[in-house]
Structure 1
């Protein structure tokens, strides 16, 4: 599978860009999956639900299936978080996997950047960032796209993964 990432500081516009890119790339007839890395403890299950009760009882994995979707929840318990490389084989094959976060992993990335963040570009220290999507001018030798120019960013990503 081909991989491309969106990274950046908190509140830089990563999730909105990801959402727009998925819509744009899928509209071109390609299949897209996403992986989102969170630095905080997130629970997609709700207390009181049967699946939550199964997990609380000690199940290692709980697969929840409905007529519209299914989700597999895997409890790490006292083990380490899996690496991106360990997670990728769990996805069904698609044309492109867009990855939000995982800034230090080796896949190519675009950095989302908003002026109000007032932090240095991550691209100055992370060589796997190939372009910047910003809401204003930035000082870099990398290609710079308007953060809202989804079509141009999608074109860039697709040309990169075809190399």
Structure 2
């Protein structure tokens, strides 16, 4: 595994696209392809709306809503930390560096970032012309490749086959120069 001392040392690559383009579907294929190559990816996903991973009626939900700023729920198999962030409840994109700092660098080899398209990091755009949306690489910085089902695009970089997560995993490994 890759030897890092902090989450800031973990290599990152983003996946950016318009909603409905298939970022999550693609990542669901890329993650096992990376794991098959001996890598342990961590994921940070941006949600554009208020969300909750807890359920009303559960003790953890009730304790958090009673005023706990942090709620850690743990079992023998997993744990989840929920942190209230009312100071950033203004619609702004959360700070990606702060979120990355919350990851355990001993448990991951790289960070895959879904969303955060305005953040400065290398990105793979997921583009499906059938959605009728303009490509993001014309509007945002950092797009290093486009995963697409288009035969051609006016992109000056690699076009990756959107339905081939193994090829995308290989591109990520080469681009980030990760040696599992």
Alignment TM class, shorter chain as reference: over 0.9
Unaligned 5+ residue runs, structure 2? 1-9
What residue number does 1:41 align with? Answer: 50
SS of the aligned residue for 1:103 comes to coil
CA contact (8 A) 2:118 2:141 kept: no
What residue number does 1:148 align with? Answer: 163
What residue number does 1:67 align with? Answer: 76
- In the TM superposition, residue 87 of structure 1 has moved relative to its aligned partner by 0.8
What residue number does 1:80 align with? Answer: 88
CA contact (8 A) 1:7 1:102 kept: yes
The counterpart of 1:120, out of the listed 111, 134, 145, is 134
Per-residue CA deviation, residues 77-128 of structure 1 (Å, 9 max, x unaligned), is 3x01640011111001121110000001111010001122111110112220
Provide the TM-score with structure 1 as the length reference: 0.95
Whole-angstrom CA distance in 2 between matches of 1:129 and 1:5: 9
Runs of at least 4 residues off by over 4 Å: none
May I ask how many residue pairs the two structures share in their alignment? Answer: 162
Unaligned 5+ residue runs, structure 1? none
CA contact (8 A) 1:4 1:97 kept: yes
